[in-house]
Amino acid sequence: MRYTENHEWLRVEGDLVVVGITEHAATQLGDVVFVELPEVETMVASGDEVVVIESVKAASDISAPVDGEIVEINEKLVATPALVNDDPTGDAWFFKLKIDDMSVLDGFMSEDEYNEMIG
């Protein structure tokens, strides 16, 4: 698993990268009540805002961590946004990205480095 500075986790699944948010991020957000997902087959660039998350407190978003194509989205989150709080690193993945070069993931933090960042 790799981690971004924006509290996303990235998991390699074959030739896809699965993206979710960390437990720390889910706790900070509070109870999630709304999730808006991107369309599948969308080409995204690193930094594009692709997911909107609304908690009881505020709105936030998830950016694409790398360039790629959205090939799958987790529709369960639309019907059950609370899944983001219940299982942030498991069932509550947001989207799967197809990317050309898996080596770009090496530039992201390891679990130890991420834990150090959040203190």
Partner 1 sequence: MTGPEPDDAPERTPLYALHVELGARMVPFAGYALPVQYPMGVLKEHLHTRSHAGLFDVSHMGQILLRPKDDMAALSLGLERMMPVDVAGLPEGRQRYGLFTDDAGGVLDDLMFANRGDHMLVVVNAACKAADLTHMEQALAPVAQVEAVTDRALLALQGPQAEDVLSALVSRVMAMRFMDVIAVDTVFGALWISRSGYTGEDGFEISLPDRSADAFARMLLAHDAVAPIGLGARDSLRLEAGLCLYGHDLDTGTTPAEAALGWAIPKVRRTGGARAGGFPGADVILPQLDARAPRLRVGLLPEGRAPMREGVALFDRAEGGDAIGHITSGGFGPSVGVPVAMGYVPAALSAAHTELWGEVRGKRLPVAVAPLPFHPTTYKR
105 sits in which H/E element: none
Please tell me the chain's helix, strand, coil percentages from 3-state DSSP, rounded to the nearest 5. 25, 40, 40
Cα–Cα distance, 27 to 29 (Å, whole number)? 5
Rule CB under 8 A: is residue 52 a binding residue for partner 1?
Answer: yes
Select the span of 15-23, 38-46, 53-61, 92-100 touching partner 1 (CB under 8 A). 53-61
The burial class, CB within 10 Å (0-12 / 13-18 / 19+), for 37 is: middle
Rule CB under 8 A: is residue 36 a binding residue for partner 1?
Answer: yes
Select the span of 8-16, 25-33, 86-94, 102-110 touching partner 1 (CB under 8 A). 25-33
Q: How far is the CB of 54 from partner 1 (least distance, A)?
A: 5
Footprint on this chain of partner 1 (rule: CB under 8 A): 30-31, 33-34, 36, 52, 54, 56-59, 78, 81
